[in-house]
Amino acid sequence: MRQLITINHELHEKWRQVLFRTCIYIGVIIFVAEFFIFVFNKHDQPFSPVIIRYLIFYLALPTFLNLIFIVGAYFILKSEKTSEKAKNYTVALLFFLICACVQCFHYTFPAILCVPCIAVFITVIFLDINLTRLIFGLSYGSLILAFLIARFEADRAVEVIFLDCVVAGIMIFCAYLVATVLTRYTSEQAQSIHDSYLKQMELIQEAKTEPLTGLLNRRAMVDVLGQAVYQDAESRKPLIMAVIDLDDFKKVNDTYGHRKGDEVLITLADILKRNTPGNENVFRYGGEEFVVLFSGYPIGTVVGLLDQMHQEFSTHDFNFAAGERITFSCGIAEYTDSGWSTSEFFEKADQALYLAKSEGKNQNRIYEKRLEA
């Protein structure tokens, strides 16, 4: 789940950067377009107050505003204090402000009045219906502002301007409706993908879990052990493996039955989990054999923990075996920087386990080089 959230944040960050760069490109394109329109329309006219006014209101001022919007958004997005949601809103508002700037300064072209539709559609990326509603409301605000500016300028009849704004308002509303539908559809699709991911993770976890004891199984142990062993020597923590085997477990099964044997296995598994720092490192290897991995602990601490497990398990009162002690033996191996493979590492602990069994059971034995002799 945490991994999924991280991926989602990374995806939003990626598309925020894409949208921010797009805003910069749009700002540059608008400036170039405004400049060429000026050259095309005014190139044969003498320099006059009309030209100066045109340059200020249709070239310099919108470019200056776009630059302020972009720089302001840049610092907001780069700030560590800005939340994930605020960053999403910042990018969407930046897109809207650039569209609104075009709308208010270039209202002469009726199609320009519909430009905020783009900003409304952009909000679909963030799957936030409140953000879509905000940009929709602001789009109507900028449309009213464009109408007032056009009326003040009086370049065209008020009735014509009003009709253009009505048409633009209808288009913006339609864009809002479509964006809302797309947001809901995409949200449901994302939720479906999320649910499928969680289900897949559950199946993977089930495949690595031993059903009787709830411990991770041999397959999971191989994966975890491989990751631990094949780390770089500099970053690898001290790693110790304890291979545990129940003493005379066949006798328990033969005398009391397999259901009672299962009870013994479950009890031992519970004791191992409760006494192991980070119970994700406890595995049922198979049958009556268990494996515990200790990462980052000195050998003395590990032996002390295992002695505690011995004490708790051997004194546990099984109601079907009154007065009898059920015990386990343990072989311990410490991974040194010797280039052992995972199978070789296990074999060292298993050799120590064999020694513990042959020397009387119910004890720990630590692997030493002499055991290979």
Active site members: 288
297, 272, 296: which is closest to 285 by C-alpha?
272
DSSP 146-185: HHHHHHHHTSS-HHHHHHHHHHHHHHHHHHHHHHHHHHHH
3-state secondary structure of 199: helix
Phi, psi of 332 (to 5 degrees): -120, 135
171, 165, 167: which is closest to 149 by C-alpha?
165
Phi, psi of 295 (to 5 degrees): -115, 125
d(CA 251, CA 257): 9
Contact (Cβ atoms closer than 8 angstroms) between residue 215 and residue 284: yes
- Beta-carbon contacts of 300 under 8 Å, excluding residues fewer than 6 positions away, are none
Q: Hey, CA dihedral for 289, 295, 299, 304, is it positive or negative?
A: negative
